[in-house]
């Protein structure tokens, strides 16, 4: 099948490969040591997967906010997002 | 099996079998304010529909010459045009075709999946379930462009199966959601007893389990029909001639031929009929169905 | 309801997974790809980075559409939820012909194709041929939804109430039907007022279905497209141009694909955020009831 209509670019391909690796990694981690629901600073009990999702969704909005507010390089938003995601996964 | 029969009977009786607050209030034997509101609301619902039906039996001269509350010179001209012109009636056939196709695909795929969600825990179950639901909540406008490109690439553009598959985007998740609600109402013991009796999974599922949740299956089919029937944006984008739905025929013909109000109204009336028919069949399960089996 | 841990259940999910992946994941990936490129035609694309996102985020018309959308969705909720509850309370119970008829009549608007809903109100509201429009003129209001923004906006809102309040009413009705009669008898013996019955018996029983109702009505009104498109075409001016309408204009009308794709992603993220919050509330409420 011809994939030209999807108009792939290197950055977006890397982005999706990254997501795929993350999902695969979470699955392996889950098989090796099953998660337990825990209560952190978030208002409800969450599993590891929930916290990763919240981290990623938050990161998307951090990037959008960064684009809207500043003209500084987007790498800054990426750094903030990584800190945020790590924080949510560890303490959420 | 008697246990199963009782369970399904209880299930079928649930809507409407219990005394409602309205029954108790009626004992005070006067028309309550709430009944007045209900009747007023039904009048509000029916007036615009009546107006369209009324208009569909009028000639255009009568429509444009002034308001008449009922057709003074009733005519079937508008309906005759629709039933004799292939570009009109093929629209209905196309719509019914892809809606049926979509309902069958959605139900077939969703039944086993809903069973899995209602009976088992497995890796990523909650996340997959949520992922499915997000597709029901995604604005169809977002998918417009890529759908157009995708179906053109795989050579399905302007076919019924293309629309049926595109509508699976929101109907499959919905079907899984509703069926899961109904299936969770069936006690696990029934599954276990059947396995002890030596049923294989496919045989148990089709001969014991599916008959027990037939109300749920009916309600799900109704919802798939409904959401596929009322959707226009995707259906219009993915078709041009061969599979064009009636809804699209209406918008295009109207803009092309000026304003033939009578014809437009008649076409509108005919799109309401299949829905009205389907509601009549599931009327006893509507309430529970609208709660997605979760009451 | 204890579920059994068994990863083989995945096999039952495969068909659904494949279908939804085909119709959701592939298109979504494509939208992401489009959003970082300028698209002139098949094969004629070049990478522009985050330019589209910046232009969309700074687009005043988009901000207006978003504000309009949020006000509209809130208005829909504020009217349809209380009104739906009120109607559900007045509905007859039991399994009689009257109940069936009421249910069928209430459900009827839900089964009408979206564009026909627009057509019905178009015919109903016009000043020259419509009953509503003519009535307004007869009592001296110069009602015209095609060139008066306020009238257009109100008509779209009334049309939505007409179209969807039944959904809320039917959901609440299902919740009310699940209350055992003994509850009402007990309340009667205690001499509870109607308000007390509503507040302490009926409302708590409707809580679950009400959350579903709020979720469905919020999401669907947030994506509304076809009905206002048919009725007003987004006008007069931009007064009834909501998010989907604006997106479709951009993608189909102006063929501005990259920008429309960036817009789609932002739109999708907003919906995803709301869905997640609502979904979490729904599932956590369910757990609370079981315990």
Between C280 and A13, residue with greater pLDDT: A13
Nearest residue to A19 (alpha-carbon basis) of C214, C25, C175, C218: C25
**C31: in domain:** no
The domain limits of chain B are: 2-56, 85-290
- Whether residues A5 and B126 touch (CB distance < 8 A) is answered with no
Complex-level ipTM beyond the 0.90 threshold: no
Under a CB-based contact definition with an 8 Å cutoff, are residues B53 and B76 in contact? no
pLDDT tens profile B28-41: 445 678 888 899 99
pLDDT tens profile C60-102: 888 888 899 989 999 999 999 999 999 998 888 777 788 888 8
Under a CB-based contact definition with an 8 Å cutoff, are residues C156 and C231 in contact? yes
Structure tokens of B236? 């219009």
- Residue A46: what are its φ and ψ, rounded to 5°? -135, 155
Q: What is the pLDDT of residue B172?
A: 92
Is it the case that residue C290 has pLDDT exceeding 60? no
**C218: in domain:** yes
The separation between the first and the last C-alpha atoms of chain B, rounded to the nearest angstrom, is 25
The total of structural domains in chain C comes to 1
- Whether residues A7 and C33 touch (CB distance < 8 A) is answered with yes
Contacts of C266 in chain A (CB under 8 A): 64
- Whether residues A6 and C39 touch (CB distance < 8 A) is answered with no
pLDDT tens profile C105-157: 888 998 888 888 988 898 888 877 888 888 888 887 788 887 888 888 889 99
**Greatest CA span in chain A, whole angstroms?**
47
What percent of chain C lies above the pLDDT cut of 90?
11
pLDDT tens profile C192-207: 888 888 888 888 878 7
For residue A34, give how far its alpha carbon lies from the nearest alpha carbon of chain B (Å). 9
Partners of residue C39 on adjacent β-strands:
C45
Lowest-confidence pick of A9-23, A71-85, C72-86, C227-241: C227-241
pLDDT band at B112 (very low <50, low <70, confident <90, very high): very high
Q: What is the pLDDT of residue B104?
A: 95
Q: What is the pLDDT of residue B15?
A: 41
Q: What is the pLDDT of residue B31?
A: 65
Asked if B126 is an interface residue toward chain A (Cβ–Cβ < 8 A), one would say yes
What percent of chain B lies above the pLDDT cut of 70?
83
Best residue in B136, B167, B189, B290 to probe C by mutation, most C CBs within 10 Å? B290
Asked if A4 is an interface residue toward chain C (Cβ–Cβ < 8 A), one would say yes
**C1: in domain:** no
CATH code at position C257:
1.10.3720.10
pLDDT band at B55 (very low <50, low <70, confident <90, very high): confident
Asked if B137 is an interface residue toward chain A (Cβ–Cβ < 8 A), one would say no
Between C208 and C84, residue with greater pLDDT: C84
Q: What is the pLDDT of residue C79?
A: 94
**C168: in domain:** yes
Report how far Cα C237 is from the mean position of its chain's Cα atoms.
23
For residue A3, give how far its alpha carbon lies from the nearest alpha carbon of chain B (Å). 8
All residues at 6 or more sequence positions from C2 whose CB lies less than 8 Å from its CB, including other chains: B188
Domain that holds residue C249: 60-290
Lowest-confidence pick of B163-167, C63-67, C231-235: C231-235
Mean predicted lDDT score pLDDT of chain B:
80
pLDDT tens profile C16-65: 999 988 888 888 888 888 888 887 766 677 788 888 888 888 888 888 88
- The mean pLDDT of B258-268, rounded to a whole number, is 82
pLDDT band at B239 (very low <50, low <70, confident <90, very high): confident
Measured CA to CA, the distance from residue A47 to residue A38 in angstroms comes to 6
**C127: in domain:** yes
DSSP string across B145-180: HHHHHHHHHTT-TTSHHHHHHHHHHHHHHHHHHHHH
**C137: in domain:** yes
Which architecture does CATH list for B85-290? Orthogonal Bundle (1.10)
Asked if B145 is an interface residue toward chain A (Cβ–Cβ < 8 A), one would say no
Mean predicted lDDT score pLDDT of chain C:
84
All residues at 6 or more sequence positions from A51 whose CB lies less than 8 Å from its CB, including other chains: A40, A42, A88, A89, A92
**C103: in domain:** yes
Q: For chains A and C, what is the number of CB pairs under 8 angstroms?
A: 51
The separation between the first and the last C-alpha atoms of chain C, rounded to the nearest angstrom, is 11
- The mean pLDDT of B255-279, rounded to a whole number, is 80
Between residues 251 and 290 of chain C, which touch chain B (CB distance below 8 Å)? 251-252, 257, 260-261, 264, 267-268, 271-272, 275-276, 279, 286
Under a CB-based contact definition with an 8 Å cutoff, are residues C106 and B36 in contact? no
Is it the case that residue C285 has pLDDT exceeding 70? no
- Whether residues C268 and B272 touch (CB distance < 8 A) is answered with no
Between C252 and B109, residue with greater pLDDT: B109
Measured CA to CA, the distance from residue B15 to residue C93 in angstroms comes to 9
């Amino acid at each position: 099948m011809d994939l030209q209509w999807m108009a792939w670019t290197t950055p977006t391909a890397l982005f999706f490969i990254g997501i795929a690796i993350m999902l695969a990694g979470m699955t392996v981690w889950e098989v090796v040591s099953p998660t337990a629901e825990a209560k952190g600073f978030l208002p409800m009990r969450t599993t590891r997967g929930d916290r990763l999702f919240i981290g990623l969704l938050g990161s998307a909005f951090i990037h959008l906010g960064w684009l809207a507010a500043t003209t500084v390089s987007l790498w800054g938003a990426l750094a903030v997002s990584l800190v945020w995601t790590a924080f949510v996964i560890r303490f959420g | 099996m008697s246990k199963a029969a009782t369970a399904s009977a209880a299930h079928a009786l649930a809507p409407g079998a219990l005394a409602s607050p309205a029954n108790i209030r009626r004992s005070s034997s006067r028309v309550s304010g709430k009944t007045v509101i209900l009747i007023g609301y039904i009048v509000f619902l029916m007036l615009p529909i009546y107006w369209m039906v009324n208009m569909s039996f009028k000639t255009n001269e009568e429509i444009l010459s002034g308001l008449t509350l009922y057709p003074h010179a009733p005519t079937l001209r508008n309906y005759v045009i629709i039933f004799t012109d292939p570009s009109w009636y093929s629209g209905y056939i196309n719509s019914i075709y892809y809606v049926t196709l979509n309902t069958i695909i959605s139900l077939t795929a969703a039944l086993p999946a809903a069973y899995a969600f209602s009976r088992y825990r497995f890796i990523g179950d909650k996340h997959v379930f949520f992922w499915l639901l997000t597709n029901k909540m995604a604005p169809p406008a977002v998918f417009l462009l890529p759908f157009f490109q995708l179906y053109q690439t795989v050579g399905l553009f302007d076919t019924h199966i293309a629309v049926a598959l595109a509508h699976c985007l929101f109907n499959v998740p919905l079907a899984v959601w509703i069926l899961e609600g109904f299936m969770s109402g069936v006690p696990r013991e029934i599954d276990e007893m059947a396995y002890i009796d030596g049923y294989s999974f496919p045989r148990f599922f089709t001969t014991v389990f599916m008959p027990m949740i037939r109300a749920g299956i009916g309600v799900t089919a109704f919802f798939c029909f409904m959401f596929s029937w009322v959707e226009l944006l995707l259906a219009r984008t993915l078709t041009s001639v061969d599979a064009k739905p009636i809804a699209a025929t209406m918008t295009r013909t109207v803009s092309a031929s000026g304003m033939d109000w009578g014809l437009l109204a008649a076409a509108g009336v005919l799109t309401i009929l299949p829905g009205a028919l389907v509601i009549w069949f599931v009327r006893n399960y509507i309430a529970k169905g609208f709660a997605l089996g979760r009451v | 309801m204890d579920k059994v841990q068994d990863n083989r259940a995945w096999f039952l999910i495969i068909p659904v997974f494949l279908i939804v992946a085909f119709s959701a994941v592939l298109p979504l990936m494509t939208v992401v790809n489009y959003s970082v490129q300028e698209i002139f035609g098949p094969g004629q694309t070049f990478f522009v980075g985050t330019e589209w996102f910046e232009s969309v985020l700074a687009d005043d018309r988009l901000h207006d559409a978003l504000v309009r959308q949020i006000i509209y969705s809130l208005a829909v909720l504020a009217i349809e939820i209380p009104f739906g509850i009120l109607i559900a309370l007045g509905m007859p119970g039991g399994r009689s012909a009257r109940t069936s008829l009421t249910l069928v009549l209430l459900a009827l608007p839900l089964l009408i194709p979206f564009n026909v809903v627009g057509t019905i109100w178009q015919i109903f509201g016009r000043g020259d041929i419509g009953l509503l429009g003519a009535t307004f003129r007869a009592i001296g209001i110069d009602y015209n939804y095609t060139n008066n923004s306020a009238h257009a906006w109100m008509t779209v809102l009334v049309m939505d109430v007409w179209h969807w309040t039944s959904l809320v009413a039917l959901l609440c009705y299902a919740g009310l039907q699940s209350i055992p009669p003994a509850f009402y008898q007990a309340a009667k013996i205690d001499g509870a007022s109607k308000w007390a019955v509503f507040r302490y018996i009926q409302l708590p029983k409707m809580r679950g279905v009400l959350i579903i109702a709020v979720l469905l009505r919020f999401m669907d009104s947030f994506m509304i497209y076809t009905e206002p498109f048919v009725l007003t075409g987004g006008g007069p001016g931009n007064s009834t141009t909501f998010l989907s309408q604006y997106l479709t204009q951009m993608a189909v009308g102006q063929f501005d694909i990259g920008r429309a794709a960036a817009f789609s992603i932002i739109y999708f993220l907003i919906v995803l955020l709301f869905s997640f919050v609502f979904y979490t509330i729904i599932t956590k409420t369910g757990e609370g009831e079981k315990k």
